[in-house]
Structure 1
């Protein structure tokens, strides 16, 4: 997918925005006992904090580790592309969910001496949503937007690699 530094940054920003958006809506709805109009405003407010945290954690740390782990399980070019995409997405969620749950627990939940228990509970609650959202919705949406934004560059890169 991304081949240049600009493309990497744009892809990371898109992925961060849509993952944090969904997870904030989800967690706000859980805290409030259901989603309300007020919950949307609360979620957007929390995004101001979580988007930068998620971007830094993802772009500078997990995006360096995830491909190394994922591509020990699948081999791009040999395995079907969809398997490579799913494994990469799953590994990323496996890394990011505990990290982002850590920050959410620390920032929003005020767990005190129960930090470990609350953090583990947060991971368990967030993981199924994060995995399903990533594989079925966010990943395809971000790849579509990315291809749309960089259509000319992607076609040019493809032509150069074939020629």
Structure 2
């Protein structure tokens, strides 16, 4: 887990890239099917989705999710409880925002946007939560601490 603001920013950049890429891959496959062009199509959608996700994460979702999660489990809760509560709250907020982004990218601002958004939310949540808790969280924490041992990124 990051221990200061700079570590938090680096961790967010890595985690967001991981989650956005795999969720973009998933949604591209869900909408267009699995094909030889799947990776290329997902990669084309990645940069804009990543930019939106970083902004939403850093300025909107993370501050709210962290406060909510710590209110639920308590500020003095064991680290493992925080490592479940915070990402779970983060996934809830990010799924809402990024599912709306996906709906707008898919159908634009039309009469179908709300329906597509509401359809995307559960479809994304059932993949994003286990991806975050079981794969992305452990992998990114491991990579982050290997690349940046505690104290390497100064305050």
Q: TM-score, normalised by structure 1?
A: 0.87
**1:20 touches 1:51 (CA, 8 Å); kept in 2?**
yes
Q: Name the larger-Rg structure.
A: 1
Distance 1:84 1:4, change over 3 A: closer
**1:111 touches 1:118 (CA, 8 Å); kept in 2?**
no
Q: Distance in 1 between matches of 2:107 and 2:147?
A: 37
User: What residue in structure 2 maps to residue 30 of structure 1?
Assistant: 30
Q: Which runs of 5+ in 1 are unaligned?
A: 158-163
User: What residue in structure 1 maps to residue 40 of structure 2?
Assistant: 41
Q: Deviation above 4 Å: which 4+ runs of structure 1?
A: none
User: What residue in structure 2 maps to residue 20 of structure 1?
Assistant: 20
The structure showing larger relative contact order (alpha-carbon pairs under 8 Å, at least 6 residues apart) is 2
**1:24 touches 1:46 (CA, 8 Å); kept in 2?**
yes
Q: Distance in 2 between matches of 1:147 and 1:17?
A: 17
- The C-alpha deviation readout for 1:104-143, integer Å capped at 9, x for no partner, is 1112333621221111001111111010100100111111
Q: Is 1:134 the equivalent of 2:132?
A: yes
Count of residues paired in the alignment: 154
Deviation of 1:74 (Å): 0.9
Q: TM-score, normalised by structure 2?
A: 0.91
Instruction: Name the structure where helix makes up a greater proportion of residues.
Output: 1
Q: Which runs of 5+ in 2 are unaligned?
A: none
- RMSD over aligned CA atoms reads 1.9
Choose the corresponding residue for 1:100, options 98, 101, 117: 98
Deviation of 1:37 (Å): 2.8
